[in-house]
Amino acid sequence: MKKTIAILTAGGDCPGINAVIRAVAKTAINDHGMDVVGIEDGFLGLIEGRWRQLGYEDVSDIITRGGTILGTSNKSDPFGFVVDGDVEHPERVDVSDTVIKNFERIGASSLIAIGGDGTLSISEKLRGKGLPVIGIPKTIDNDVSCTDYTFGFDSAVATATEAIDKIHTTAQSHHRVMIIEVMGRYVGWLALCSGTAGGGDVILIPEIPYDIGIVCNRLVERGKRGKRFTIVVVSEGAKESGGELVVKKVVKDSHDRLRLGGIAEVLAAEVEKRTGLETRVTVLGHLQRGGTPTAFDRVLATRFGREAATLACQSSTGVMVALKCGDIVTVPIKDAVAELKKVPRDHHLIATAESVGMSFGV
């Protein structure tokens, strides 16, 4: 009998998702003669019973497009689906059985789930209930374990670096301290890579709590050396030593309820108070998730998609495709979501940044 595979995209969007959808569908159709069904809006589509057939033409000419043609949602955890209540006391119900039943209605032999740690964690729990799932790691944060890179990360670094480059010139012109806040949640890969590429003078990441006194001293020292401007790149999850995360808001119906943001404003206020230096803030926000994927991400997404479709044909389950030393490999999903991939303190890029004079506030 002709096999059918299903595919969904969940969590935050990023450049490269459509490249994966294209690669999965075209490989399934060309190499294995399988039918492909696209589930709309992530797990919400499986909860509400919304999906559609994906033909060859549906996935043509989408490799350059950002976003996802299937839609996505980061507010649809089947094991804690919010039906009522306020932010502090949301009423959650387990609708995972509904997900399983709707998947059985599709008649698919495999579900390919594209997402970050939240999506993959949900996928692993559904696998425990018998759903045959294959994961593809997607996030601009690059925080999924067991893979060197997630697709979407390189594109976000390119976007953030370009923004830092543009801010650099206005910082020089007005002799200001410019603080650029980038995404990354609880890890600092995005800030570290874009800050290093963009020539940031100070880079603040969650893995290295900063000392505000040391940060301010660095700004003042630059002024004494004739440097009349400073570029500070700060991850949204960075915090002062002994301090707390800066939370922008709480979202009741999300897998991760905390929405970080605002650390740049907090930092700017403290810098101006302590140094008197004119300081401005730029929050890049969702700009980092949009736009055309880089060539690296297009290639990586295509390789991931092809491998996932091949694994689906072989009836593999409970595995995630990953990049290891240039090769595409498979790892158990449970290992990939066991912990976030954080920046090690002894990472070579930290040492490199420090060698060229960048400060991490310590």
Q: What domain range includes position 222?
A: 157-289+344-355
Q: Are both 279 and 295 inside the same structural domain?
A: no
Q: Classify residue 204 as left (phi > 0), alpha (psi -120 to 50) or beta.
A: beta
Q: Do the domain assignments include residue 132?
A: yes
Q: What are the angstrom distances between the C-alpha of 229 and each of 138, 173, 175, 200, 206?
A: 36, 9, 5, 11, 24
Q: Do the domain assignments include residue 362?
A: no
How many Å apart are CA 121 and CA 316, to the nearest integer?
18
Q: Are both 12 and 96 inside the same structural domain?
A: yes
pLDDT at 259: 76
Q: Are both 99 and 18 inside the same structural domain?
A: yes
Contact 234, 260 (CB under 8 A): no
3-class state of residue 16 by DSSP:
coil
Q: Are both 219 and 275 inside the same structural domain?
A: yes
Q: Are both 74 and 221 inside the same structural domain?
A: no
Q: Do the domain assignments include residue 351?
A: yes
CATH of the domain at 204: 3.40.50.460
Q: Do the domain assignments include residue 147?
A: yes
Phi, psi angles (nearest 5°) of residue 226: 90, 5
Q: Are both 9 and 140 inside the same structural domain?
A: yes
Helices 348-355 and 189-197 pack at an angle, to 10 degrees, of: 30
Over residues 104-116, the pLDDT tens digits come to 999 999 999 999 9
Which residue is listed with tokens 């069904």? 37
Rounded to two decimals, the pTM is: 0.94
Q: Are both 324 and 208 inside the same structural domain?
A: no
Per-residue pLDDT 10s for the chain (362 aa) are 789 999 999 998 999 999 999 999 999 999 999 999 999 999 999 999 999 999 999 999 999 999 999 999 888 899 999 887 766 777 889 999 999 999 999 999 999 999 999 999 999 999 999 999 999 999 999 999 999 999 999 999 999 999 999 999 999 899 999 999 999 999 999 999 999 999 999 999 999 999 999 999 999 999 899 999 999 999 999 999 999 988 877 776 666 677 788 999 999 999 999 999 999 999 999 999 999 999 999 999 999 999 999 999 999 999 999 999 999 999 999 999 999 999 999 999 999 999 999 999 99
Q: Are both 73 and 98 inside the same structural domain?
A: yes
pLDDT at 258: 77
3-class state of residue 64 by DSSP:
coil
Contact 3, 34 (CB under 8 A): yes
Reply yes or no on whether 253 is catalytic. no
pLDDT at 249: 76
Could you tell me which of 286, 293, 288, 306 has the C-alpha nearest to residue 65? 293
| Structural domains of the chain, count | 2
Contact 214, 359 (CB under 8 A): yes
pLDDT at 86: 67
Q: Which residue type does 330 have? A: T
How many Å apart are CA 359 and CA 362, to the nearest integer?
7
Q: Are both 68 and 78 inside the same structural domain?
A: yes
Q: Do the domain assignments include residue 97?
A: yes
Q: Are both 128 and 190 inside the same structural domain?
A: no
Q: How many whole angstroms from its chain centre is CA 256?
A: 13
Which segments within the chain are labelled E, that is strand?
4-9, 35-39, 51-53, 81-85, 90-93, 110-115, 133-137, 177-182, 202-204, 230-235, 247-250, 258-260, 279-283, 319-324, 327-332
Q: Are both 56 and 130 inside the same structural domain?
A: yes
In the set 35, 141, 154, 253, the catalytic residue is 141
Over residues 203-240, the pLDDT tens digits come to 999 999 999 999 999 999 998 999 999 999 999 999 99
CATH of the domain at 43: 3.40.50.450
For the beta carbon of residue 97, count every other beta carbon within 10 angstroms. 10
Q: What are the angstrom distances between the C-alpha of 50 and each of 8, 45, 70, 99, 181?
A: 11, 5, 10, 11, 37
How many Å apart are CA 12 and CA 242, to the nearest integer?
30
Q: Do the domain assignments include residue 361?
A: no
